[in-house]
A and B are shown apart, each in its own frame.
Chain A
Protein backbone atom coordinates (compact mmCIF):
# COMPACT_ATOMS: atom_id res chain seq x y z
CA UNK A 1 0.00 0.00 0.00
CA UNK A 2 1.46 3.34 -1.05
CA UNK A 3 1.53 6.36 1.24
CA UNK A 4 -0.79 9.16 0.03
CA UNK A 5 2.21 11.39 -0.63
CA UNK A 6 3.79 8.68 -2.79
CA UNK A 7 0.47 8.19 -4.58
CA UNK A 8 0.41 11.89 -5.48
CA UNK A 9 3.98 11.73 -6.69
CA UNK A 10 3.30 8.72 -8.90
CA UNK A 11 0.20 10.44 -10.29
CA UNK A 12 2.37 13.43 -11.16
CA UNK A 13 4.94 11.21 -12.88
CA UNK A 14 2.25 9.45 -14.90
CA UNK A 15 0.47 12.62 -15.96
CA UNK A 16 3.18 15.27 -16.07
CA UNK A 17 3.23 15.68 -19.89
CA UNK A 18 -0.46 16.64 -19.74
CA UNK A 19 0.26 19.95 -17.99
CA UNK A 20 -0.35 22.64 -20.55
CA UNK A 21 1.70 25.47 -19.12
CA UNK A 22 4.70 26.04 -16.93
CA UNK A 23 2.81 27.53 -13.99
CA UNK A 24 0.44 24.54 -13.70
CA UNK A 25 3.44 22.21 -13.86
CA UNK A 26 5.34 24.17 -11.21
CA UNK A 27 2.32 24.34 -8.93
CA UNK A 28 1.75 20.57 -9.14
CA UNK A 29 5.45 19.86 -8.66
CA UNK A 30 5.67 22.04 -5.56
CA UNK A 31 2.56 20.39 -4.08
CA UNK A 32 3.97 16.90 -4.64
CA UNK A 33 7.34 17.91 -3.16
CA UNK A 34 5.62 19.38 -0.10
CA UNK A 35 3.92 16.02 0.43
CA UNK A 36 7.34 14.40 0.47
CA UNK A 37 8.70 16.89 2.98
CA UNK A 38 10.63 19.01 0.48
CA UNK A 39 10.07 22.68 1.20
CA UNK A 40 12.00 24.45 -1.52
CA UNK A 41 13.36 23.76 -4.95
CA UNK A 42 15.19 25.36 -7.80
CA UNK A 43 15.55 24.18 -11.37
CA UNK A 44 18.17 25.70 -13.61
CA UNK A 45 19.92 25.00 -16.87
CA UNK A 46 23.46 25.51 -17.98
CA UNK A 47 23.84 26.05 -21.68
CA UNK A 48 26.42 23.61 -23.02
CA UNK A 49 27.45 26.18 -25.63
CA UNK A 50 28.40 28.62 -22.84
CA UNK A 51 29.74 26.39 -20.06
CA UNK A 52 31.29 29.26 -18.15
CA UNK A 53 28.17 31.40 -18.18
CA UNK A 54 25.74 31.74 -15.32
CA UNK A 55 23.00 29.11 -15.07
CA UNK A 56 19.52 30.17 -16.12
CA UNK A 57 17.00 29.62 -13.33
CA UNK A 58 13.87 28.22 -14.96
CA UNK A 59 11.80 27.70 -11.82
CA UNK A 60 12.33 28.37 -8.16
CA UNK A 61 10.33 28.26 -4.99
CA UNK A 62 11.63 29.17 -1.56
CA UNK A 63 15.33 29.32 -2.41
CA UNK A 64 15.66 32.80 -3.89
CA UNK A 65 16.75 34.51 -0.65
CA UNK A 66 19.20 31.74 0.19
CA UNK A 67 20.69 31.83 -3.31
CA UNK A 68 21.05 35.60 -3.13
CA UNK A 69 22.78 35.21 0.23
CA UNK A 70 25.12 32.53 -1.17
CA UNK A 71 25.97 34.82 -4.09
CA UNK A 72 26.63 37.76 -1.76
CA UNK A 73 28.88 35.66 0.45
CA UNK A 74 30.73 34.13 -2.49
CA UNK A 75 29.59 30.67 -1.40
CA UNK A 76 28.82 29.46 -4.95
CA UNK A 77 32.55 29.35 -5.64
CA UNK A 78 33.18 26.98 -2.73
CA UNK A 79 29.90 25.03 -2.83
CA UNK A 80 30.90 21.40 -3.40
CA UNK A 81 27.44 20.66 -4.87
CA UNK A 82 28.27 22.97 -7.76
CA UNK A 83 31.55 21.09 -8.24
CA UNK A 84 29.87 17.70 -8.09
CA UNK A 85 27.24 18.77 -10.63
CA UNK A 86 29.94 20.07 -12.96
CA UNK A 87 31.78 16.77 -12.56
CA UNK A 88 28.72 14.98 -13.92
CA UNK A 89 27.41 13.27 -10.80
CA UNK A 90 23.83 12.22 -11.60
CA UNK A 91 22.17 12.65 -8.21
CA UNK A 92 23.48 13.21 -4.70
CA UNK A 93 22.34 14.50 -1.36
CA UNK A 94 24.04 17.16 0.74
CA UNK A 95 24.67 14.49 3.36
CA UNK A 96 26.54 12.37 0.84
CA UNK A 97 28.68 15.33 -0.18
CA UNK A 98 29.48 16.15 3.43
CA UNK A 99 30.28 12.54 4.28
CA UNK A 100 32.53 12.18 1.24
CA UNK A 101 34.44 15.36 2.03
CA UNK A 102 34.86 14.35 5.67
CA UNK A 103 36.15 10.96 4.61
CA UNK A 104 38.62 12.40 2.18
CA UNK A 105 39.59 15.24 4.52
CA UNK A 106 39.02 17.77 1.73
CA UNK A 107 36.36 19.87 3.45
CA UNK A 108 37.54 23.47 3.71
CA UNK A 109 36.57 25.88 6.45
CA UNK A 110 34.49 27.92 4.04
CA UNK A 111 32.54 24.83 3.04
CA UNK A 112 31.86 23.99 6.66
CA UNK A 113 30.66 27.56 7.21
CA UNK A 114 28.35 27.14 4.24
CA UNK A 115 26.76 23.99 5.67
CA UNK A 116 26.44 25.57 9.10
CA UNK A 117 24.72 28.65 7.67
CA UNK A 118 22.37 26.52 5.59
CA UNK A 119 21.37 24.61 8.72
CA UNK A 120 20.86 27.87 10.60
CA UNK A 121 18.47 28.93 7.84
CA UNK A 122 16.52 25.70 8.25
CA UNK A 123 17.96 24.04 5.15
CA UNK A 124 19.18 20.73 6.54
CA UNK A 125 19.46 18.41 3.60
CA UNK A 126 19.01 18.58 -0.12
CA UNK A 127 18.95 16.37 -3.16
CA UNK A 128 20.64 17.62 -6.32
CA UNK A 129 19.66 15.89 -9.55
CA UNK A 130 21.55 16.57 -12.74
CA UNK A 131 20.29 15.48 -16.09
CA UNK A 132 21.25 16.32 -19.64
CA UNK A 133 18.77 17.60 -22.21
CA UNK A 134 18.99 16.25 -25.78
CA UNK A 135 20.73 19.40 -27.03
CA UNK A 136 23.35 19.08 -24.31
CA UNK A 137 22.09 21.60 -21.75
CA UNK A 138 22.74 20.49 -18.20
CA UNK A 139 19.52 20.65 -16.18
CA UNK A 140 20.04 20.79 -12.46
CA UNK A 141 17.27 20.52 -9.88
CA UNK A 142 17.88 21.17 -6.18
CA UNK A 143 15.29 20.04 -3.66
CA UNK A 144 15.77 21.12 -0.06
CA UNK A 145 14.11 19.94 3.11
CA UNK A 146 13.75 21.42 6.58
CA UNK A 147 13.67 17.86 7.90
CA UNK A 148 16.99 16.47 9.20
CA UNK A 149 17.52 14.48 6.02
CA UNK A 150 16.03 13.38 2.70
CA UNK A 151 14.35 10.07 3.40
CA UNK A 152 16.10 7.15 1.72
CA UNK A 153 12.74 5.66 0.73
CA UNK A 154 11.83 8.84 -1.15
CA UNK A 155 15.10 9.16 -3.01
CA UNK A 156 14.16 7.27 -6.22
CA UNK A 157 10.83 9.06 -6.37
CA UNK A 158 12.40 12.49 -5.88
CA UNK A 159 15.06 11.76 -8.46
CA UNK A 160 12.43 10.77 -11.01
CA UNK A 161 10.28 13.77 -10.14
CA UNK A 162 13.22 16.08 -10.64
CA UNK A 163 14.12 14.57 -14.02
CA UNK A 164 10.57 14.66 -15.35
CA UNK A 165 10.02 18.18 -14.03
CA UNK A 166 13.31 19.52 -15.39
CA UNK A 167 12.66 17.94 -18.80
CA UNK A 168 9.18 19.41 -19.14
CA UNK A 169 10.07 22.76 -17.58
CA UNK A 170 12.99 23.05 -19.96
CA UNK A 171 10.68 22.34 -22.88
CA UNK A 172 8.34 25.15 -21.78
CA UNK A 173 11.35 27.40 -21.38
CA UNK A 174 12.57 26.65 -24.90
CA UNK A 175 9.07 27.12 -26.33
CA UNK A 176 8.79 30.48 -24.60
CA UNK A 177 12.16 31.52 -25.99
CA UNK A 178 10.98 30.64 -29.51
CA UNK A 179 7.61 32.31 -29.08
CA UNK A 180 6.90 35.83 -30.33
CA UNK A 181 5.36 36.42 -26.91
CA UNK A 182 8.89 36.33 -25.62
CA UNK A 183 9.16 39.71 -27.24
CA UNK A 184 7.32 41.15 -24.27
CA UNK A 185 6.57 44.78 -24.79
CA UNK A 186 7.56 47.27 -22.14
CA UNK A 187 4.78 49.36 -20.62
CA UNK A 188 5.88 52.41 -22.63
CA UNK A 189 6.05 50.47 -25.90
CA UNK A 190 2.54 49.13 -25.35
CA UNK A 191 1.24 52.62 -24.53
CA UNK A 192 2.82 54.10 -27.65
CA UNK A 193 1.29 51.34 -29.79
CA UNK A 194 -2.16 51.88 -28.29
CA UNK A 195 -2.11 55.63 -28.95
CA UNK A 196 -0.68 55.18 -32.45
CA UNK A 197 -3.47 52.73 -33.27
CA UNK A 198 -5.94 55.50 -32.36
CA UNK A 199 -4.36 57.70 -35.01
CA UNK A 200 -2.21 59.95 -32.83
CA UNK A 201 0.99 61.42 -34.21
CA UNK A 202 4.31 60.92 -32.46
CA UNK A 203 4.32 64.49 -31.05
CA UNK A 204 0.79 63.96 -29.66
CA UNK A 205 1.82 60.69 -28.00
CA UNK A 206 4.94 62.42 -26.67
CA UNK A 207 2.82 65.15 -25.13
CA UNK A 208 0.43 62.71 -23.48
CA UNK A 209 3.23 60.55 -22.07
CA UNK A 210 5.50 63.43 -21.16
CA UNK A 211 8.40 62.16 -23.21
CA UNK A 212 10.17 63.41 -26.34
CA UNK A 213 9.14 62.58 -29.89
CA UNK A 214 12.42 60.76 -30.45
CA UNK A 215 11.75 58.51 -27.50
CA UNK A 216 8.32 57.69 -28.90
CA UNK A 217 9.90 56.78 -32.23
CA UNK A 218 12.41 54.55 -30.42
CA UNK A 219 9.62 52.79 -28.52
CA UNK A 220 7.73 52.25 -31.78
CA UNK A 221 10.76 50.84 -33.56
CA UNK A 222 11.53 48.52 -30.65
CA UNK A 223 7.93 47.26 -30.60
CA UNK A 224 7.93 46.67 -34.36
CA UNK A 225 11.25 44.84 -34.16
CA UNK A 226 10.12 42.66 -31.24
CA UNK A 227 6.94 41.73 -33.05
CA UNK A 228 8.58 41.40 -36.48
CA UNK A 229 5.91 43.75 -37.82
CA UNK A 230 6.40 45.87 -40.94
CA UNK A 231 4.24 48.79 -39.75
CA UNK A 232 2.93 50.35 -36.55
CA UNK A 233 -0.59 49.15 -37.25
CA UNK A 234 0.63 45.63 -37.97
CA UNK A 235 2.59 45.74 -34.72
CA UNK A 236 -0.54 46.82 -32.84
CA UNK A 237 -2.68 44.01 -34.24
CA UNK A 238 0.08 41.45 -33.76
CA UNK A 239 0.55 42.52 -30.16
CA UNK A 240 -3.20 42.39 -29.65
CA UNK A 241 -3.51 38.88 -31.07
CA UNK A 242 -0.59 37.66 -28.93
CA UNK A 243 -2.06 39.15 -25.79
CA UNK A 244 0.97 41.37 -25.34
CA UNK A 245 -1.23 44.41 -24.74
CA UNK A 246 -3.25 42.78 -21.92
Chain B
Protein backbone atom coordinates (compact mmCIF):
# COMPACT_ATOMS: atom_id res chain seq x y z
CA UNK B 1 0.00 0.00 0.00
CA UNK B 2 1.16 3.50 -0.78
CA UNK B 3 -0.11 6.20 1.56
CA UNK B 4 -1.67 9.25 -0.05
CA UNK B 5 -0.86 12.24 2.12
CA UNK B 6 -2.98 15.27 1.34
CA UNK B 7 -3.84 18.49 3.16
CA UNK B 8 -6.74 16.59 4.78
CA UNK B 9 -4.69 13.88 6.49
CA UNK B 10 -1.29 15.50 6.93
CA UNK B 11 -1.77 15.73 10.68
CA UNK B 12 -1.60 11.93 10.78
CA UNK B 13 1.85 11.94 9.19
CA UNK B 14 3.65 14.61 11.21
CA UNK B 15 6.73 12.54 11.94
CA UNK B 16 6.92 11.07 8.41
CA UNK B 17 6.59 14.50 6.80
CA UNK B 18 9.31 15.94 8.98
CA UNK B 19 11.50 12.95 8.23
CA UNK B 20 10.76 13.42 4.51
CA UNK B 21 11.84 17.07 4.52
CA UNK B 22 15.02 16.12 6.34
CA UNK B 23 15.74 13.30 3.92
CA UNK B 24 15.18 15.68 1.02
CA UNK B 25 17.75 18.05 2.47
CA UNK B 26 20.20 15.21 3.05
CA UNK B 27 19.70 13.67 -0.40
CA UNK B 28 19.37 16.69 -2.65
CA UNK B 29 21.41 19.32 -0.84
CA UNK B 30 24.05 17.41 1.12
CA UNK B 31 24.64 14.48 -1.23
CA UNK B 32 23.86 15.92 -4.66
CA UNK B 33 24.93 19.45 -3.88
CA UNK B 34 21.82 21.31 -5.01
CA UNK B 35 22.59 24.25 -2.77
CA UNK B 36 20.00 26.46 -4.50
CA UNK B 37 17.08 24.60 -2.91
CA UNK B 38 15.28 26.29 -0.07
CA UNK B 39 16.64 25.05 3.21
CA UNK B 40 15.22 25.49 6.66
CA UNK B 41 17.74 24.16 9.11
CA UNK B 42 17.92 20.44 8.52
CA UNK B 43 14.91 20.40 6.17
CA UNK B 44 14.32 21.29 2.52
CA UNK B 45 11.01 22.76 1.37
CA UNK B 46 9.94 24.86 -1.56
CA UNK B 47 6.93 26.85 -2.69
CA UNK B 48 5.30 23.73 -4.13
CA UNK B 49 5.06 22.15 -0.68
CA UNK B 50 1.77 23.93 -0.15
CA UNK B 51 -1.73 22.73 0.68
CA UNK B 52 -2.21 21.39 -2.86
CA UNK B 53 0.82 19.15 -2.69
CA UNK B 54 0.13 15.44 -2.43
CA UNK B 55 2.79 13.10 -1.12
CA UNK B 56 2.90 9.43 -1.93
CA UNK B 57 4.66 7.58 0.86
CA UNK B 58 5.67 4.00 1.31
CA UNK B 59 6.01 3.08 4.97
CA UNK B 60 7.60 0.09 6.61
CA UNK B 61 5.96 -2.02 9.31
CA UNK B 62 7.20 0.37 11.99
CA UNK B 63 5.85 3.40 10.08
CA UNK B 64 9.34 4.28 8.91
CA UNK B 65 9.72 6.02 5.53
CA UNK B 66 10.82 3.73 2.70
CA UNK B 67 10.10 6.12 -0.15
CA UNK B 68 8.22 9.23 -1.13
CA UNK B 69 7.39 11.49 -4.03
CA UNK B 70 5.53 14.78 -4.29
CA UNK B 71 2.92 15.50 -6.94
CA UNK B 72 0.94 18.64 -7.46
CA UNK B 73 -1.55 19.97 -10.02
CA UNK B 74 -0.12 22.55 -12.42
CA UNK B 75 -3.20 24.65 -13.11
CA UNK B 76 -1.72 27.49 -11.05
CA UNK B 77 2.01 27.01 -11.39
CA UNK B 78 4.56 24.48 -12.54
CA UNK B 79 8.23 24.38 -11.71
CA UNK B 80 9.15 22.94 -15.11
CA UNK B 81 7.06 25.31 -17.20
CA UNK B 82 7.55 28.47 -15.15
CA UNK B 83 11.14 28.12 -13.98
CA UNK B 84 12.71 26.05 -16.76
CA UNK B 85 10.79 27.00 -19.92
CA UNK B 86 13.89 26.36 -22.03
CA UNK B 87 13.46 22.64 -21.34
CA UNK B 88 10.17 22.63 -23.24
CA UNK B 89 9.76 22.44 -26.97
CA UNK B 90 7.46 25.27 -28.17
CA UNK B 91 5.28 22.74 -29.97
CA UNK B 92 4.22 21.29 -26.60
CA UNK B 93 3.16 24.59 -25.02
CA UNK B 94 1.09 25.26 -22.99
CA UNK B 95 2.14 22.17 -21.13
CA UNK B 96 0.69 23.03 -17.74
CA UNK B 97 -2.98 23.34 -16.87
CA UNK B 98 -5.92 21.30 -15.64
CA UNK B 99 -5.23 17.61 -16.02
CA UNK B 100 -1.48 18.05 -15.84
CA UNK B 101 0.31 17.23 -12.61
CA UNK B 102 3.94 17.62 -11.74
CA UNK B 103 6.08 15.18 -9.82
CA UNK B 104 9.24 16.06 -7.91
CA UNK B 105 11.54 14.99 -5.10
CA UNK B 106 11.33 11.25 -5.50
CA UNK B 107 13.36 9.27 -3.01
CA UNK B 108 13.61 5.59 -2.21
CA UNK B 109 15.46 4.04 0.71
CA UNK B 110 18.52 2.39 -0.79
CA UNK B 111 18.24 -0.58 1.58
CA UNK B 112 14.88 -1.81 0.28
CA UNK B 113 15.10 -5.13 -1.59
CA UNK B 114 14.37 -3.72 -5.06
CA UNK B 115 14.77 0.07 -5.21
CA UNK B 116 13.72 0.20 -8.89
CA UNK B 117 10.43 -1.57 -8.12
CA UNK B 118 9.95 0.66 -5.08
CA UNK B 119 10.37 3.75 -7.26
CA UNK B 120 7.89 2.35 -9.76
CA UNK B 121 5.39 1.59 -7.01
CA UNK B 122 5.50 5.28 -6.11
CA UNK B 123 5.14 6.35 -9.73
CA UNK B 124 2.26 3.93 -10.25
CA UNK B 125 0.61 5.35 -7.16
CA UNK B 126 1.00 8.84 -8.63
CA UNK B 127 -0.55 7.72 -11.89
CA UNK B 128 -3.44 6.03 -10.06
CA UNK B 129 -4.11 9.13 -7.96
CA UNK B 130 -3.92 11.52 -10.91
CA UNK B 131 -6.15 9.38 -13.13
CA UNK B 132 -8.74 9.15 -10.35
CA UNK B 133 -8.86 12.96 -10.46
CA UNK B 134 -9.29 13.07 -14.23
CA UNK B 135 -5.68 13.99 -14.78
CA UNK B 136 -3.96 12.91 -17.94
CA UNK B 137 -0.32 13.88 -17.77
CA UNK B 138 2.60 13.80 -15.35
CA UNK B 139 5.51 16.20 -15.76
CA UNK B 140 8.87 16.18 -14.08
CA UNK B 141 12.31 17.69 -14.45
CA UNK B 142 15.19 15.37 -13.80
CA UNK B 143 18.86 14.78 -14.29
CA UNK B 144 19.19 12.84 -17.55
CA UNK B 145 21.22 10.16 -15.79
CA UNK B 146 18.06 9.24 -13.87
CA UNK B 147 16.04 8.57 -17.02
CA UNK B 148 16.94 4.84 -17.15
CA UNK B 149 15.59 4.45 -13.61
CA UNK B 150 12.42 6.42 -14.25
CA UNK B 151 11.37 4.81 -17.52
CA UNK B 152 10.78 1.21 -18.30
CA UNK B 153 8.56 -0.69 -20.70
CA UNK B 154 5.43 -0.11 -18.64
CA UNK B 155 5.97 3.54 -17.74
CA UNK B 156 7.51 5.57 -20.50
CA UNK B 157 8.65 9.12 -19.95
CA UNK B 158 9.51 11.19 -23.00
CA UNK B 159 11.55 14.35 -22.99
CA UNK B 160 9.74 17.65 -23.37
CA UNK B 161 12.50 19.34 -25.34
CA UNK B 162 16.19 20.02 -25.47
CA UNK B 163 18.17 19.17 -22.33
CA UNK B 164 20.29 21.83 -20.68
CA UNK B 165 23.50 21.66 -18.72
CA UNK B 166 23.36 22.77 -15.14
CA UNK B 167 25.98 22.90 -12.46
CA UNK B 168 25.70 19.24 -11.53
CA UNK B 169 25.04 17.58 -14.87
CA UNK B 170 22.40 17.76 -17.56
CA UNK B 171 18.79 18.48 -16.77
CA UNK B 172 15.73 17.63 -18.86
CA UNK B 173 11.98 17.95 -18.69
CA UNK B 174 10.03 14.73 -19.09
CA UNK B 175 6.36 13.90 -19.44
CA UNK B 176 4.21 10.81 -19.28
CA UNK B 177 0.75 10.65 -20.86
CA UNK B 178 -1.35 8.69 -18.40
CA UNK B 179 -3.91 6.06 -19.23
CA UNK B 180 -5.74 3.30 -17.39
CA UNK B 181 -4.03 0.74 -19.64
CA UNK B 182 -0.60 2.08 -18.73
CA UNK B 183 -1.43 1.98 -15.02
CA UNK B 184 -2.69 -1.61 -15.36
CA UNK B 185 0.52 -2.52 -17.16
CA UNK B 186 2.57 -0.87 -14.43
CA UNK B 187 0.68 -2.71 -11.69
CA UNK B 188 1.01 -5.97 -13.59
CA UNK B 189 4.73 -5.52 -14.01
CA UNK B 190 5.04 -4.89 -10.27
CA UNK B 191 2.71 -7.76 -9.38
CA UNK B 192 0.56 -5.36 -7.36
CA UNK B 193 -3.22 -5.78 -7.13
CA UNK B 194 -5.32 -2.64 -7.49
CA UNK B 195 -5.67 -0.21 -5.87
CA UNK B 196 -2.13 0.59 -4.86
CA UNK B 197 -2.96 3.78 -2.96
CA UNK B 198 -4.99 4.39 0.14
CA UNK B 199 -5.83 7.70 1.77
CA UNK B 200 -5.95 7.15 5.49
CA UNK B 201 -8.55 9.15 7.40
CA UNK B 202 -8.92 10.06 11.06
CA UNK B 203 -11.53 7.35 11.53
CA UNK B 204 -9.15 4.66 10.32
CA UNK B 205 -6.56 5.64 12.87
CA UNK B 206 -9.21 5.99 15.58
CA UNK B 207 -10.42 2.49 14.84
CA UNK B 208 -7.07 0.77 14.43
CA UNK B 209 -4.87 2.83 16.67
CA UNK B 210 -1.97 3.65 14.39
CA UNK B 211 -0.90 3.97 10.74
CA UNK B 212 0.93 0.66 10.81
CA UNK B 213 -2.23 -1.22 11.75
CA UNK B 214 -4.28 0.59 9.13
CA UNK B 215 -1.64 -0.29 6.58
CA UNK B 216 -1.76 -3.92 7.70
CA UNK B 217 -5.53 -4.01 7.29
CA UNK B 218 -5.42 -2.49 3.84
CA UNK B 219 -2.60 -4.78 2.74
CA UNK B 220 -4.58 -7.77 4.00
CA UNK B 221 -7.62 -6.61 2.10
CA UNK B 222 -5.49 -6.24 -1.04
CA UNK B 223 -3.94 -9.67 -0.62
CA UNK B 224 -5.40 -12.10 -3.11
CA UNK B 225 -5.25 -15.16 -0.86
CA UNK B 226 -6.85 -14.26 2.43
CA UNK B 227 -7.18 -17.86 3.45
CA UNK B 228 -3.57 -18.22 4.54
CA UNK B 229 -3.45 -14.88 6.28
CA UNK B 230 -4.48 -14.28 9.84
CA UNK B 231 -7.49 -12.10 9.25
CA UNK B 232 -8.64 -9.85 11.98
CA UNK B 233 -12.38 -10.15 11.53
CA UNK B 234 -12.94 -7.49 14.13
CA UNK B 235 -12.06 -4.95 11.44
CA UNK B 236 -14.73 -2.32 11.72
CA UNK B 237 -17.32 -2.48 9.01
CA UNK B 238 -16.87 1.14 8.12
CA UNK B 239 -13.26 0.70 7.04
CA UNK B 240 -14.15 -2.42 5.12
CA UNK B 241 -16.88 -0.55 3.34
CA UNK B 242 -14.40 2.12 2.31
CA UNK B 243 -11.92 -0.45 1.05
CA UNK B 244 -14.71 -2.23 -0.83
CA UNK B 245 -15.78 1.05 -2.38
CA UNK B 246 -12.22 1.54 -3.58
CA UNK B 247 -12.12 -1.99 -4.91
CA UNK B 248 -15.40 -1.46 -6.69
CA UNK B 249 -13.87 1.46 -8.60
CA UNK B 250 -11.21 -0.91 -9.84
CA UNK B 251 -13.57 -3.80 -10.55
CA UNK B 252 -12.05 -5.92 -7.81
CA UNK B 253 -13.37 -7.42 -4.62
CA UNK B 254 -12.45 -9.40 -1.55
CA UNK B 255 -11.56 -12.90 -2.63
CA UNK B 256 -13.74 -15.71 -1.37
CA UNK B 257 -12.06 -17.68 1.41
CA UNK B 258 -11.01 -21.06 0.08
CA UNK B 259 -12.96 -23.99 1.43
CA UNK B 260 -9.86 -26.14 1.91
CA UNK B 261 -8.40 -23.57 4.24
CA UNK B 262 -11.36 -23.57 6.59
CA UNK B 263 -9.46 -25.09 9.43
CA UNK B 264 -11.21 -25.79 12.72
CA UNK B 265 -11.04 -22.77 14.93
CA UNK B 266 -10.68 -20.23 12.10
CA UNK B 267 -13.61 -17.90 12.30
CA UNK B 268 -15.09 -17.03 8.97
CA UNK B 269 -17.74 -14.49 8.27
CA UNK B 270 -20.91 -16.13 7.11
CA UNK B 271 -23.13 -15.25 4.25
CA UNK B 272 -21.23 -12.62 2.34
CA UNK B 273 -17.88 -14.31 2.31
CA UNK B 274 -16.11 -11.46 4.01
CA UNK B 275 -17.68 -8.49 2.34
CA UNK B 276 -18.94 -5.90 4.73
Contacts from A to B (Cβ < 8 Å) = 2, 6, 9-10, 13-17, 90, 131-135, 139, 155-157, 159-160, 163-164, 166-167, 170-171
Complex CA distance for A131 and B156, rounded to whole angstroms = 18
Contacts of A14 in B (CB 8 A): 89, 158-161
Contacts of A134 in B (CB 8 A): 116, 148-149, 152
Max count, chain B CB within 10 A of own CB: residue among A10, A132, A163: A163
Establish whether residues A132 and B148, one from each chain, have CB atoms under 8 Å apart when the complex forms.
yes
Establish whether residues A164 and B159, one from each chain, have CB atoms under 8 Å apart when the complex forms.
yes
Complex CA distance for A160 and B163, rounded to whole angstroms = 7
Take A14-B159, A16-B158, A131-B145 as given contacts and tell me if A159 and B170 are in contact as well, using a CB distance cutoff of 8 Å.
yes
Establish whether residues B116 and A10, one from each chain, have CB atoms under 8 Å apart when the complex forms.
no
Complex CA distance for A2 and B163, rounded to whole angstroms = 13
Task: Tally the A-B contacts, defined by beta carbons under 8 Å.
Answer: 63
* The residue from B89, B156, B158, B159 contacting A160, defined by CB atoms under 8 A apart: B159
Take A156-B163, A157-B163, A171-B153 as given contacts and tell me if A163 and B148 are in contact as well, using a CB distance cutoff of 8 Å.
yes
Complex CA distance for A133 and B152, rounded to whole angstroms = 10
Is B210 in contact with chain A by the CB < 8 A criterion?
A: no
Establish whether residues B158 and A163, one from each chain, have CB atoms under 8 Å apart when the complex forms.
no
Complex CA distance for A14 and B174, rounded to whole angstroms = 9
Contacts of B169 in A (CB 8 A): 90
Contacts of B159 in A (CB 8 A): 10, 13-14, 160, 164
Establish whether residues B162 and A6, one from each chain, have CB atoms under 8 Å apart when the complex forms.
yes
Is B165 in contact with chain A by the CB < 8 A criterion?
A: yes
Task: Give the shortest distance, in Å, between B94 (CB) and chain A (any CB).
Answer: 17
Contacts of A133 in B (CB 8 A): 148
Establish whether residues B170 and A164, one from each chain, have CB atoms under 8 Å apart when the complex forms.
no
SS class, residues of chain B in contact with chain A? mixed
Closest chain B residue to A13 by CB distance? B159
Closest chain B residue to A174 by CB distance? B153
Establish whether residues B145 and A164, one from each chain, have CB atoms under 8 Å apart when the complex forms.
no
Task: Give the shortest distance, in Å, between A89 (CB) and chain B (any CB).
Answer: 11
Contact with A along B69-94 (1 / 0, CB 8 A): 00000000000000000000100000
Chain B interface size range: 20 to 34
Is B228 in contact with chain A by the CB < 8 A criterion?
A: no
Contacts of B162 in A (CB 8 A): 2, 6, 9-10, 13, 157
Complex CA distance for A13 and B158, rounded to whole angstroms = 7
Complex CA distance for A243 and B144, rounded to whole angstroms = 37
Contacts of A159 in B (CB 8 A): 144, 163, 170
Closest chain A residue to B91 by CB distance? A14
Take A14-B159, A135-B116, A156-B164 as given contacts and tell me if A163 and B89 are in contact as well, using a CB distance cutoff of 8 Å.
no
Contacts of B145 in A (CB 8 A): 90, 131, 163
Complex CA distance for A109 and B271, rounded to whole angstroms = 85
Is B214 in contact with chain A by the CB < 8 A criterion?
A: no
Establish whether residues A167 and B148, one from each chain, have CB atoms under 8 Å apart when the complex forms.
yes
Task: Give the shortest distance, in Å, between A95 (CB) and chain B (any CB).
Answer: 16
Contact with A along B146-189 (1 / 0, CB 8 A): 01110111001011111111000110100000000000000000
Max count, chain A CB within 10 A of own CB: residue among B116, B160, B165: B165
Contacts of A163 in B (CB 8 A): 144-145, 147-148
Establish whether residues B144 and A17, one from each chain, have CB atoms under 8 Å apart when the complex forms.
no
Max count, chain A CB within 10 A of own CB: residue among B89, B145, B160, B161: B145
Establish whether residues B161 and A160, one from each chain, have CB atoms under 8 Å apart when the complex forms.
no
Closest chain A residue to B163 by CB distance? A160
* The residue from A9, A156, A157, A164 contacting B147, defined by CB atoms under 8 A apart: A164
Establish whether residues A167 and B163, one from each chain, have CB atoms under 8 Å apart when the complex forms.
no
Contacts of B148 in A (CB 8 A): 131-134, 139, 163, 166-167, 170
Contacts of B160 in A (CB 8 A): 14
Establish whether residues B158 and A17, one from each chain, have CB atoms under 8 Å apart when the complex forms.
yes
* 6 nearest CB pairs, A to B: A134-B116, A160-B163, A156-B165, A167-B148, A13-B159, A156-B170
Task: Give the shortest distance, in Å, between A136 (CB) and chain B (any CB).
Answer: 9
Closest chain A residue to B169 by CB distance? A90
Please give 4 more A-B residue pairs, beta carbons under 8 A apart, in addition to A134-B116, A167-B148: A133-B148, A139-B148, A163-B145, A167-B147
* The residue from A13, A157, A167 contacting B151, defined by CB atoms under 8 A apart: A167
Complex CA distance for A166 and B145, rounded to whole angstroms = 11
Contacts of B89 in A (CB 8 A): 10, 14
Complex CA distance for A133 and B153, rounded to whole angstroms = 13
Contacts of B153 in A (CB 8 A): 171
Closest chain A residue to B92 by CB distance? A14
Complex CA distance for A139 and B164, rounded to whole angstroms = 22
Contacts of B163 in A (CB 8 A): 13, 156-157, 159-160
Complex CA distance for A6 and B161, rounded to whole angstroms = 11
Max count, chain B CB within 10 A of own CB: residue among A9, A17, A156, A171: A156
